[in-house]
Amino acid sequence: MNVLEVTDVRKHLGKREIIKGISFNVQEGEIFGFLGPNGAGKTTTIRMLVGLISPNNGSIKIMDYDLHKDREKALSYLGAVVENPELYGYLSGRENLMQIARIRGISKVEVDNIIKLIGLEDRINDKFKKYSLGMKQRLGLGAALLCNPKLLILDEPTNGLDPSGILDFREIVKTAAKERGMAVFVSSHILSEVQQLCDRVAFINHGEIQSIENINETTTLNEKETLALITHKNDLATSIIKDLDYVYDYKLEDDKLSVIIKSGFTPSLINNLVRHDIAIEEIYKKHKGLEQRYMELVEGGVR
């Protein structure tokens, strides 16, 4: 079941089109990554998804409710952690959660379940202002999960966290998605985090989605691989490489060749170069998996 459906959404700021007809969906229990460089349109998209701004064209549906036509109903299924959580510093973690619970009619039992899920049992009675950044992020996530949303939106959720905090946050999100059947939308520019956390990923650049791919297919069944190659005859090597039908792209920088080839054709490339009396000083693969796809789709090729 599609929890979030975005169809041909466009957004203009003045005469400039920021978002250029993007479409995607996020399914129940799925963690969906939104990956792109700064200025690609990630933040503008999130602001539209949470109802802060409206698209000029297209539609956004949450649980089949149109965000423009049935705004209150659509947003009732939404939880979000955008940037750093803003909670009351003079209250404890539990008091902050109970404030939200009272407003929304949520039981104390559910508050306790959330506290256990986010792993703050030992510090939940401490003042929020005394929390580390990682603990604040966990409590912010807990606040977003209190109403048991069908769609959880996370904007750069691990910014500023140490490695331990990142691991903890990742496991909480995975557990919540699996146990509660939530759809999770994660916007980030951190490649490794998206690869570790998400099931599918959309690559966005200049307001356009370049591709939407399954993470497992991207990381394990990639049809291309990138090689770093050092020889003593780079000019000759380049003239040979450019005519090979299994070579997609190449670039020479600082006496090192970067070559994108069809997966599995490294031995063929080596044989071709050796036959032309080109000695290979060093060769190795780089930009594997998601990183390679990002370079191809967003950065325009090898780097």
As averages over each run of 10 residues, the pLDDT of the chain (303 residues) reads 95 92 95 90 94 95 95 94 84 95 93 92 94 89 92 87 82 88 89 85 92 70 74 88 88 83 86 88 71 70 53
Q: What pLDDT, on the 0 to 100 scale, is given for residue 24?
A: 96
Give the per-residue pLDDT at 145: 93
Structure tokens belonging to residue 241:
């490489």
Please check whether residues 64 and 180 belong to one and the same domain. yes
pLDDT value of residue 137: 87
Q: Are 213 and 227 found together in one domain? A: no
Instruction: Kindly list the distances between the CA atom of residue 112 and the CA atoms of 95, 116, 255, 281, in Å, as whole numbers in the listed order.
Output: 12, 6, 60, 61
> How many whole angstroms separate alpha carbon 252 and alpha carbon 230?
10
d(CA 153, CA 167): 18
Examine residue 46 and state whether it is found in any structural domain, yes or no: yes
pLDDT number for residue 264: 81
Q: Is residue 255 part of a domain?
A: yes
Domain containing residue 30: 2-219
pTM of the model: 0.75
Last residue of a domain, one of 219, 252, 277: 219
User: What pLDDT is stored for residue 248 in this prediction?
Assistant: 87
